[in-house]
Structure 1
Amino acid sequence: MKIALLGYGKMGKAIETIALQRGHSIELKVTSKTSNFNLDNIDLAIDFSLPSTAVSNITSCINHQVPVISGTTGWLKSYEEITALCNEKNGTFLYASNFSLGVNIFFEVNRNLAKLMKALPEYKASIKEIHHTQKLDAPSGTAITLAEDIIKESKYKNWTLNTPEQDEIKINAERIENVPGTHEITYKSNVDTLQIKHAAHNRQGFALGAIIAAEWIQHKKGVFSMKDVLNIG
Structure 2
Amino acid sequence: MKIALIGYGKMGKAIEAIAVEKGHTIAFKFDISNQEAFTIANLQQCDVAIEFTSPHSAVDNLKKCFEAGVPVVCGSTGWLAQWDAVTTDCESKNAALVYASNFSIGVNLFFELNSYLAKLMRHHPNYDVSLEEIHHTEKKDAPSGTAITLAEQVLAHITRKKAWVNHISDNIEELEIISERIDPAPGTHKIKYHSAIDDIEIIHTAHNRQGFASGAILAAEFIVGKKGIYSIKQVLGL
Fold equivalence (TM over 0.5): yes
Match of 2:74 in 1: 70
What code does the residue aligned with 1:121 have?
P
Show the 5 A alignment for 1:1-233.
1-36=1-36, 37=38, 38-155=42-159, 156-164=161-169, 165-232=171-238
Helix, strand or coil at the partner of 1:159:
strand
Q: Is the Cα contact below 8 Å between 2:44 and 2:69 reproduced in 1?
A: no
- Alpha-carbon distance, 1:127 to partner: 0.5
- Alpha-carbon distance, 1:179 to partner: 0.8
What code does the residue aligned with 2:177 have?
I
Q: Is the Cα contact below 8 Å between 2:192 and 2:199 reproduced in 1?
A: yes
State how far apart, in whole Å, the 2-side matches of 1:32 and 1:173 are: 27
- Alpha-carbon distance, 1:103 to partner: 0.0
Q: Is the Cα contact below 8 Å between 2:168 and 2:178 reproduced in 1?
A: no
- Alpha-carbon distance, 1:40 to partner: 2.3
- Alpha-carbon distance, 1:33 to partner: 2.5
| TM-score normalised by structure 1 residue count | 0.97
What code does the residue aligned with 2:188 have?
T
What code does the residue aligned with 2:217 have?
I
State how far apart, in whole Å, the 1-side matches of 2:73 and 2:155 are: 26
* Dislocated runs of 4+, deviation >6 Å: none
Helix, strand or coil at the partner of 1:219:
coil
In structure 1, runs of 5+ residues without a counterpart are none
Q: Is the Cα contact below 8 Å between 2:129 and 2:191 reproduced in 1?
A: yes
Instruction: Please provide the CA RMSD for this pair.
Output: 0.9
For residues 32-70 of structure 1, the C-alpha deviation after alignment (integer angstroms, 9 at most, x for no partner) is 233231312111000001111100110000111100010
More helix by share: 2
| TM-score normalised by structure 2 residue count | 0.95
State how far apart, in whole Å, the 2-side matches of 1:151 and 1:84 are: 26
- Alpha-carbon distance, 1:154 to partner: 1.6
What code does the residue aligned with 1:152 have?
A
- Alpha-carbon distance, 1:162 to partner: 2.2
